[in-house]
């Protein structure tokens, strides 16, 4: 095989790079994780929140948006509604805007353009619930946070797996 023209798997498939797995004992722990990620977040970041219904994706987004508002000296929004029907909700925090997407009801990945996904990626921070709905349009550079239920008998407990698909490892270690 000609090494010069062979497609390089290394270049096309970014390896999964787990940052860490965390046990979240209760809602307060989920909020603390969101606050740590918010402390490390920068414009143009994409944070993909996956996991089943009711696992805490929107609660994570709420705590994240409130923490970022405080960091930028803005009054935290009274309400951070779940964008279940609007699909996107934006928060202008002065120095940065947060775009909170809930793509559960997105019919086709292409429809995300109408929601302003490109604009969000230009200089906003995108928090995306149901990121799998974007298929191949999901931005490659991102932090994946996969939430799951910790198990029966522990209704408040969750597991979070953080996968670095950018430069989050270094940023989160000192967050």
Ligand X SMILES: Nc1ncnc2c1ncn2[C@@H]1O[C@H](COP(=O)(O)OP(=O)(O)O)[C@@H](O)[C@H]1O
CA–CA gap between residue 138 and residue 112 (Å, rounded): 10
Burial code (b: 16+ CB inside 10 Å, e: under 16) for 1-16 equals eeeeeeeeeeeeeeee
Q: Which residue is nearest to ligand X (CB)?
A: 56
Among 27, 40, 115, 172, binds ligand X (CB under 6 A): 27
Query: Taking CB under 6 A as the criterion, which residues in 86-125 touch ligand X?
Result: none
Over the window 34 to 73, marking each residue x when it contacts ligand X by CB under 6 A and - when it does not, the resulting string is -----------------x-xxxxxxx--------------
Q: How far is the CB of 86 from Mg ion (least distance, A)?
A: 12
78-86 CB contacts, 8 Å cutoff, 24+ apart = 82/58
Q: Tell me how far apart the terminal alpha carbons of the chain are, to the nearest angstrom.
A: 46
Task: Name which of 90 and 156 has its Cβ closer to ligand X.
Answer: 156
What's the rounded Cα separation, in Å, for the pair 64 and 80? 10
Residues binding ligand X: number (CB under 6 A): 17
Specify the residue, 100 or 165, whose C-beta has the smaller distance to Mg ion.
Answer: 100
Q: What is the smallest separation between the CB atom of 57 and ligand X, expressed in angstroms? A: 3
- CA dist., res. 37 & res. 156, Å (int): 21
**Between residues 82 and 163, which has the closer beta carbon with respect to ligand X?**
82
Q: Which of residues 88-117 bind Mg ion (CB under 5 A)?
A: none
What number of chain residues touch Mg ion (CB under 5 A)?
4
Distance between CA atoms of residues 143 and 166, nearest Å: 7
Which x/- pattern, by CB under 5 A, does the window 50-89 give for Mg ion?
Answer: -------xx-----------------------x-------
Residue 150 tokens read as 């910790």
The residues that bridge with 48 in the sheet, in sequence order, are 128, 144
């Amino acid at each position: 095989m000609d090494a010069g023209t062979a497609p390089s798997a290394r270049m096309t498939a970014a390896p999964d790079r787990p940052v860490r797995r965390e046990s979240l004992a209760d809602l307060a722990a989920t909020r603390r994780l969101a606050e740590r990620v918010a402390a490390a977040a920068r414009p143009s970041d994409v944070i993909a929140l996956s996991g089943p219904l009711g696992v805490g994706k929107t609660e994570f987004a709420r705590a994240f948006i409130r923490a970022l508002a405080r960091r930028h000296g803005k009054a935290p929004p009274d309400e951070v509604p779940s964008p279940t029907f609007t699909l996107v909700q934006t928060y202008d925090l002065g120095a940065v805007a947060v775009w909170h997407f809930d793509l559960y009801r997105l019919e086709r990945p292409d429809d995300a353009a109408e929601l302003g996904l490109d604009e969000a990626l230009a200089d906003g921070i995108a928090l995306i619930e149901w990121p799998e709905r974007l298929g191949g349009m999901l931005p490659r550079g991102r932090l994946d946070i996969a939430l799951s239920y910790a198990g029966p008998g522990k209704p408040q407990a969750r597991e979070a797996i953080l996968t670095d698909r950018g430069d989050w490892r270094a940023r989160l270690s000192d967050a």
